[in-house]
Each structure stands twice: as C-alpha cells, then as structure tokens.
Amino acid sequence: MIHKRKKELRKKVQELRDALPLEKREELSARISENLWSVPEFAVAKTVLFFISFRSEVNTLPMIERALAEGKRVCVPCTEMEEKSMVASRLHDLEKDLRLGNYNILEPRRECLDPVPPEEIDIVLMPGVAFDLTGGRLGYGGGYYDRFLERCRPRCRLIALAFELQIVEHVPCADHDHHIHKIVTEKRVIDCPATCITH
C-alpha cells in the first residue's frame, strides 16, 4: 500500500518539477543556495556530503564550487550498483574529478576516489522527490541514502534541498525511512520535528 502511494506521489511531483523551465530552476536554485548558507549548522560544518544534481533537481554544482572555495571538506556520492551501496568520496576539483556514472549522474572518477568515513560527515545534503513538514522524505526508490545514513553518527544533520513545489502535505513512509532535520527551499528554511506517521 505504501509502495503504491509513494509511486503515485513520485510521479506527480516529478512532473511538476520537470515542468519548471531551466532558467526558472537556476533562479530558484540560487535562492536556495543563499538560504542554505544562512543555516548556522551548515555555516560551521567542516565536512559536507553534497548530492550532485541531475535532471530537474535543485542545481548543486555552484554550491559545491562555493563550498570548495571556502575550504569546506566536500564529499560527493559514488554508488556501487551491485551492492546497492554508496561511498562518500572527497572532491578536490569539480571539473577534473568527475565523470558520468551510474544513472547518468556525475560521480568521482575511479582514480580520484578518496573515501571519507561516514562518521566524519557533519551534514548530509539530501536529494529527494518530495518532502513534508515533519521531515518525511520521498526518495527515488533505490534506498542508497537510507543504507548510507545507518553508518553516520547520530549528530550528523540531514538537510534537504528542494523547490517549494516539492513540499507536500504528507509523505508516506516506513520504519526504515530516515527523516530530515531541515528543508531549505527558495522561500524558507523549515525546521522539521523528524517524526513520521507510518501509514
């Protein structure tokens, strides 16, 4: 039942997001970036796991560039499809270190892999399709982040980057789904109570 509702919601919100013109997405992404830099936990974080945007997601590439320029230890995901797992790899050079990887998402080149232990990460910036105000998150269905977060320390903060149109009334979630601490949109920073109704 949850699986069916997740699938329907995923399709609906992805269509809304895909309908945003590129120019509008870039404008909203720039506002989201400014709001992210206003979050105190992010400002003081030393090690941050960024997701690399693809398709119609919030554009994180300028954020990654800025974080690198400011001296943050920037990590990006590298997926292992056979094991359905994810490694956080330190990024040193945005232009030279990446190539198209699994799912046609930019990932570190194998020779540039520089794994960072999950317990050293201060903030994980979470991708997703839809979010609700309780911190519920609807991902893409692969479970990579849920498995990776099991190895992060409890005080690691989870911050979602999303367009306002991705905020919905309720995200159906199961016991294994992780909940977001904050959601940053182009209009606001939402503090989530990190609770979820499992139905």
Is there a domain that residue 49 lies in?
yes
Q: For residue range 58-103, what is the model confidence (pLDDT) as tens digits?
A: 999 999 999 999 999 999 999 887 777 899 999 999 888 988 877 7
194 falls within a domain: no
Domain presence at residue 6: yes
Q: Quick one: pLDDT band at residue 197, thresholds 50, 70, 90?
A: very low
What is the CATH classification number for the domain harbouring 58? 3.40.50.10420
User: For residue 153, is it within any domain?
Assistant: yes
Instruction: Compute the distance between CA of residue 74 and CA of residue 93 in angstroms, rounded to an integer.
Output: 10
pLDDT over 80 (residue 1): no
Residue 106 lies in a domain: yes
Q: How far apart are CA 60 and CA 25, in angstroms?
A: 11
Is 117 among the domain residues?
yes
With a pLDDT cut of 90, the percent of the chain lying above it is 73
Would you say residue 199 lies in a domain? no
* pLDDT at site 198: 40
Judge contact between 52 and 45, C-beta under 8 A. Answer: no
Answer yes or no: is 59 within a domain.
yes
Q: What count of other Cβ atoms lies within 10 Å of the Cβ of residue 150?
A: 10
Total-model pTM: 0.92
Domain count, the chain: 1
pLDDT score of 199 more than 50: no
At 144-160, the pLDDT tens digits run 898 999 999 999 999 99
pLDDT (mean) for 19-47: 97
Mode of pairing for the β-strands spanning 73-80 and 85-90: antiparallel
Q: Which structural domain range is residue 63 located in?
A: 2-189
